Chain A
Amino acid sequence: MDDESHTYPLIRVQDLKVRYGHREVVHGISFDVQKNEIFAIIGPAQSGKSSILKCLNRTLEFIADAKMSGSVEVNGVDVKKVHNVYELRREIGMVAPLPVGLPLSIFDNVAFAPRASGLRDKHELDALVQRCLEQAALWDEVKDRLNSLGTKLSGGQQQRLTIARALSHQPSILCLDEFSIAIDPVTTMRIEDVLKELKAELTVVLVTNLVQQARRLADRTMFVWNGEVVELGPTDAIFSEQPQSQKTYDYVHGIFG
């Protein structure tokens, strides 16, 4: 059983297309993500990177005229056939570009998801909240004021709070969508360290427009441009002097984009 599940890629995307109304923004993308790797998706803005993430946990449904086709499998299950979409969303931790502290206390921010999934036990919640905040490297800064509002934290702290919240439902995949866009470089580096540690426990899908961030963190990197995969391979190969595509070379070396 265990062996068998290892042969499964954790995420398998085949011929994924996303349309908003009549505008197609993702034109048939396929890729696999293996267990316990950091998989980076790079590309200029508006190239469809965020839309791909929204398909993984089916939050694309909340966008009024968005349509998706092709197959997306998470853990070997087609997301379109998932019976309980909440289970699917809990399986994937999602971190949005801008930090979102919910207008609740710091504790409640992290405890929101476990409570929503039915966990009521106070001790279990305490332990879980502490563990998630520790994993997100935020515990030391907030342990004395868990009851103050999450929205009152600084931007960098809120982003780590968001990560703690994404970990709180014990996902096997953590997706980060340009998480460093609104925070300072020091916090960014701290979060990158966090991600390196988390890699032992879960799989990270990292969407970023910072090329060097992908280079620092990712095992494999996919370069998306205009809704199509230009190149997909080990990060070293992408960032080498001779990637398969000239466009990749130009992009990662800052000649365009």
Chain B
Amino acid sequence: MEQEVLDLPEGAVPGPIKAPGAKPMMHGRKRPVWEIGFEVGLEWLIRLCGISAILFVFGIFAFVFREGAGFLFSGRFSLPKFLFTTEWYPTSMSNIRYGVLALIVGTGSVTILAMAIAVPFGLGAAIFISEFCTGRIKEILKIIIELLAAIPSVVWGFIGISIMNPLIQTVFSVPVGLNVFNGATLLALMSVPIMVSIGEDSLKAVPDSFREAALAMGATRWQTIVRVLLPAAKNGLLAAVLLGIGRAVGETMAVLMATGHAVKIPHSIFDPVRTLTATIAAELGEASVGSDHYQVLFIVGILLFTITFVVNLSADLIVRGVRKG
């Protein structure tokens, strides 16, 4: 319909419609004015809440940017130095340097190792639950995976320190158990649930007719999965992996507690590292408000925001592509 028709106020005050020769339409009953006013007000409130998510995302960027902007444009800040040097000495007496490369590598190494563990397990679990389980067992497994997702990250961190740490020390006979491997294992367990649920959704979205056609041609279930389902669900599975990555990059408490505190490029998976998130969490408390150090931590925040934004955006675009296709 034409636009002006659509834009008629939903709660317009009722009154008989006037037209020459027409009898009045309704029977003279009116809703009380306060009720209609309430409704109009409420609908504006609903619209406002509807756009609130946009406001919050912009607000997050704006406020984090606002706090970091002073130093970002101060001339003392050089982006290449910030991104491509490994010296992070924010409180040095003689020579303060802010290079986050080691932190980026820290985040990257923990994330990559976590994904190397989580992707096969997460997607394997998604396939197992979606294709090999039925009825009650499927429900129970899904609930357990959901509860796995509910464990707070600080509890994961605690598990990293109190259980994984001595375990890694004995099993791999390394001096410190708080390292890349420890953090990555925790992150893997934390990002598996989201991969399972998105992965299972995208496998569920493959029409049953595909399965039936393949099975009717004499393929086994496994062949059906490998040759038919995985190719058909590949975008959804990719999105699942991306969301897992987003989760892993942004995770704070677990990696803060479990990866050790060493700002350096790791040489093995048993080296301690520090991630971008952990750095903010560890140092923001000590940095005085408005100082360079404080502002740099906000710039690290912008960097994190940007990374996760891009990752989530791509995941969303891929999922949308699935729905259209």
B152 in the interface (beta carbon within 8 A): no
Residue in contact with A82 in the complex, picked from B17, B30, B31, CB distance below 8 Å = B17
Contact pattern, A 68-87, Cβ under 8 Å of B = 1, otherwise 0? 10000001110010111111
**In the complex, how many residues of chain A place their beta carbon closer than 8 angstroms to a beta carbon of chain B?**
30
> Distance (Å) between the CB of B165 and the closest chain A CB?
55
Contact pattern, B 26-43, Cβ under 8 Å of A = 1, otherwise 0? 110111100100000000
B19 in the interface (beta carbon within 8 A): yes
A126–B5 Cα gap in the complex (Å)? 36
Contact pattern, B 2-29, Cβ under 8 Å of A = 1, otherwise 0? 1001101000111111011111011101
Residue in contact with A60 in the complex, picked from B1, B21, B23, B29, CB distance below 8 Å = B1
Do residues B32 and A118 form an inter-chain contact, with CB atoms below 8 A?
yes
Q: Closest 6 interchain pairs by CB?
A: A76-B22, A118-B31, A77-B19, A4-B21, A76-B19, A75-B22
A76-B20, A84-B12, A119-B29 known; 15 new pairs, CB 8 Å cut-off, are A5-B23, A60-B1, A67-B2, A68-B1, A75-B17, A75-B23, A76-B19, A76-B22, A77-B25, A80-B1, A83-B15, A86-B14, A87-B16, A114-B29, A118-B35
Which of B1, B19, B23, B32 has the most A CB atoms < 10 Å from its CB?
B1
A91 in the interface (beta carbon within 8 A): yes
A4–B23 Cα gap in the complex (Å)? 10
Residue numbers of A with Cβ under 8 A of B are 1, 4-5, 7-8, 58, 60-61, 66-68, 75-77, 80, 82-88, 90-91, 114, 116-119, 170
Do residues B21 and A67 form an inter-chain contact, with CB atoms below 8 A?
no
24 A-B pairs in the complex with CB atoms less than 8 angstroms apart:
A5-B22, A58-B1, A58-B5, A61-B1, A61-B5, A61-B6, A66-B1, A68-B1, A75-B17, A77-B25, A80-B1, A83-B8, A84-B12, A84-B17, A85-B8, A85-B12, A87-B16, A87-B17, A87-B25, A88-B25, A114-B29, A117-B26, A117-B29, A118-B32
A77–B12 Cα gap in the complex (Å)? 17
> Distance (Å) between the CB of B20 and the closest chain A CB?
7
Which chain B residue lies CB-closest to A84? B14
> Distance (Å) between the CB of A25 and the closest chain B CB?
15
Do residues A117 and B23 form an inter-chain contact, with CB atoms below 8 A?
no
> Distance (Å) between the CB of A191 and the closest chain B CB?
25
Q: Which residues of B contact A60 (CB under 8 A)?
A: 1
Q: Which residues of B contact A58 (CB under 8 A)?
A: 1, 5
A5–B21 Cα gap in the complex (Å)? 5
A225–B191 Cα gap in the complex (Å)? 57
Which chain A residue lies CB-closest to B13? A84
Do residues A77 and B17 form an inter-chain contact, with CB atoms below 8 A?
yes
Q: Which residues of B contact A119 (CB under 8 A)?
A: 29
Contact pattern, B 241-256, Cβ under 8 Å of A = 1, otherwise 0? 0000000000000000
A217–B51 Cα gap in the complex (Å)? 51
Q: Which residues of B contact A170 (CB under 8 A)?
A: 27
A8–B1 Cα gap in the complex (Å)? 25
Q: Which residues of A contact B25 (CB under 8 A)?
A: 75, 77, 87-88, 90-91
Given A60-B1, A83-B12, A90 and B26 contact (CB-CB distance below 8 Å)? yes
Residues B29-73 near A (CB distance < 8 A): 29-32, 35
Residues B144-181 near A (CB distance < 8 A): none
> Distance (Å) between the CB of B40 and the closest chain A CB?
13
Which chain A residue lies CB-closest to B36? A118
A130–B3 Cα gap in the complex (Å)? 41
